[in-house]
A and B are shown apart, each in its own frame.
Chain A
Amino acid sequence: MADLHSVPGASADQLTRRAPAPAPSSTPRRRSGMRGLLGHKSPLRPWLLLAPALAVLGVLLLWPLVRVVMISLQDYGLRQIASGESNYIGFDNYAAIFGDSFLWTVVLPNTIGFAVACVVLTVVLGTAVALFLNNLGTFWRTICSTAIMVAWAVPAITGTYVWIWIFDPLNGLVSSVLDSVGLIDPATTNWFTERLSFYAIATLNVVHHGFPFVAITVLAGLLTIPKELHEAAMMDGASPWRRFWAITAPILRPVFAVVTILSTIWDFKVFTQIYLMPGGNGGNKEVFNLGVWSYIQSFAQGKYGMGSAIAVLLTLILLGITVVYMRTLFKEEEL
């Protein structure tokens, strides 16, 4: 879980708790001279061993990250790409983004509202399915978990087209059914033009695609809970609802933390599922989220600086959410 360790709050806490023992023994060694630098207990040694991996990560992850931040501070277009020159303009891109009411009235509400809905629904549905699977025998559990894994295995593009097709206003399954019972008139219905119905369909798509991961992860957690705990609680007359909140939920807290954070990260940066939907590729500004906005700015208009600034903003929001969430989580655990 690299994501957990990269969070300052988490790693700091863990280090202070687990690191003290080796630290004193290595300190005197460092003072004993240059030869000790690469010696068995030298503090440099682990870094040397880590160097190849760090170098690869630095080139593949850190440098692009730095580049994005650098480009976000420039007026960077095709001309700069072609000539290789830089064109720094300070924080103008950020000023333009934050000064644009479009960000506050459309993009952020879409991004955040959609992510919150998706994360909550994914985790709730995933947990419910996991509890259901946990109560099945091995044979049916295997069958059912394989079945839901299919939803996860379908590529986002394919899955999106399936949902578009299901909700197609003229030929889709949903409109055919609603039409035949007289609820809608297909000639005047198009769910893709309204912000709310557009995102409702996108939510279905993303939740459907995301819940199997939660279900399988939570199921793995559930299988580790000793049966005795539930038996004891049953003897005391606890209802299933009470047992879930008093036994299952506290034990699985770290699992929920992982699936919630991962879902948050995934659902905040949803792009494919929005961009491929009818009207989602830029023609309907009402349904933009941060990902689509960034893409339209950078690649459709060639304003790479502006697009990068939006991407940096998205990253900062995600970092912020993750840090706050991890802090609350681990503080509660220590208390």
Chain B
Amino acid sequence: MQRRSTVAVTGTLLLALGLTACGGGDSSSGESTGDAAAADHSGETLTVWIMEGTNPDGDAFFDEVTTAFKEETGADLQIEFQPWASAHDKFTTSIAGNTTPDVAELGTTWTGEFADVGALSDLSDKIKDAGLEEDLVPGLVESGTLDGAQYGMPWYAGVRSVIYRKDLFEAAGIEVPTTWAELQTAAETLKAANPGLIPFPIAGDSQYGAMPFIWGAGGDLAVKDGDTWTSEINSPDSVKGLEFYTGLATEAGLSTAAATTWKETDLLSNFEQGNVGMMISGSWTPGKILTDVPDMADKIGAFPIPGETDGLSDSFLGGSHLGVFAASEKQDLAWEFVEMMTTGKFAEEWGNQSGYFPGQTSLLEKVIEENDPLVAPFAQQMVEAGASVPVTPLYGQIQGKKTVETMLQSILSGSATVQEAADTAAADMNETFGS
């Protein structure tokens, strides 16, 4: 990735010149920079939890951040990396034991949950004072907001689109599909040309793979009416989308039985082994594929998930917020760190290194302008067709019990029809929603 290394080098140069993060961005952050210079926090230490593995070179990145933060505020940073798999438990325990960090990276679906129990600080005023209100990616603001107050500061975002084998498409003379019908034809042509290939695996343990087809057909997971949510996953539109998506496996035979229990990581490893023609995959995966299998550099491409007949199908906009814990005694210092990370140079650099998109709109536009063939389709998907799962802590419980995955697996294994499985899923969701 030529682009990335260039940016990283530029970033280091900027740092060497003594430019600080807050000054580097094109947002109007002059006010807060003034505050930062005034307050001296030397001797203080800010504890920060960051998720492990998002940035392949997280250590080096945070060494740089620590130095810059010390220059800016005089305070030290203690960065602790947490693995995604156990982080939620660790947050819960720390909230119970009153041992929360000052600042932490929060998966977008967690922010509402922790805010709901009063563990996070309301950042609305600070965001307003910094003049950032209008410059944040709306999807991330939405998932970080509870009852009108913003608890999660958008940091980075990712979205899923289709990654495909450009070489196989070209060899078989297939154009990039722009409708669902074309998507199916493309997969069928791929299969005819490459009998050993799995043209379009439908992963049963990947909820986000199915969502674009539910949304693309005009359906929804759940809708809010007044204060209660009601599941819509068994509505005629949702079922139509699910029938198309799972039908690619069950009727058209474009997947494989093994994929019924595949997670996204299984999709990825099979793609890397060359078994797969195209797949629904995240904006952060092309970088990983190219690192793992450098030979694939000229062989892969990406396109946004097409709409049923035109336009694009919505895809889940996931990512991370930075949150400040309410129990922290260093609220101002914590905010300075949050602002430094989520705007300007460091936000841009983090995005480039990790393959995610910055949560600041002005930075995102910059990425789109660069027009990298493995980045632009995802950026287009994110800007034009990004969507959120129901913004309520209750949906976290539904994801916890894997309602959508259960539905997919029962359809793919043939133990239920699409309508039956969707009805079960809707009942399961409504039980949690209490509707």
Contacts and interface: CB of A to CB of B under 8 A. Distances in A.
A and B bind: yes
19 contacts: A78-B92, A78-B117, A82-B117, A83-B118, A169-B257, A170-B256, A186-B257, A187-B253, A187-B256, A187-B257, A192-B260, A193-B261, A278-B205, A283-B205, A283-B261, A296-B401, A299-B89, A301-B400, A302-B92
A44 interface: no
B379 interface: no
Interface in A124-161: none
B204 interface: yes
Contacts of B417: none
A42 interface: no
Interface residues of A, number: 31
A296 B117 CA distance: 21
A285 B397 contact: no
B341 interface: no
Contacts of A78: 92, 95, 113-114, 116-117
Contacts of B113: 78, 302
A81 B432 CA distance: 20
Contacts of A170: 256, 258, 270, 275
A279 B409 contact: yes
Nearest to B88: A299
Interface residues of chain A: helix, strand, loop or mixed (majority): loop
A192 B260 CA distance: 9
Contacts of A248: none
Contacts of A281: 205, 402
B348 interface: no
Contact of A81 (B95, B258, B410): B95
Contact of A189 (B116, B119, B257): B257
Contact of B96 (A81, A192, A194, A301): A81
Contact of B261 (A82, A84, A192, A299): A192
B257 A301 contact: no
Interface string B239-261: 00000000000000100111011
A282 B405 contact: yes
A326 B205 CA distance: 43
A127 to B, nearest CB: 35
A188 interface: yes
B96 to A, nearest CB: 4
Contacts of B179: none
Given A83-B117, A190-B413, A300 B261 contact: no
Contacts of A279: 204-205, 260-261, 409
B261 to A, nearest CB: 3
A302 B399 CA distance: 11
A161 to B, nearest CB: 13
B406 interface: yes
A190 B260 contact: yes
B262 interface: yes
A267 interface: no
Interface in B258-300: 258, 260-262, 266, 270, 275
Contact of A283 (B88, B114, B402, B415): B402
Given A81-B117, A296-B402, A300-B397, 20 more contacts: A78-B95, A81-B95, A82-B95, A187-B256, A187-B257, A189-B258, A190-B257, A193-B412, A193-B413, A279-B409, A283-B204, A283-B261, A283-B406, A283-B408, A283-B409, A284-B406, A284-B409, A296-B400, A296-B401, A300-B401
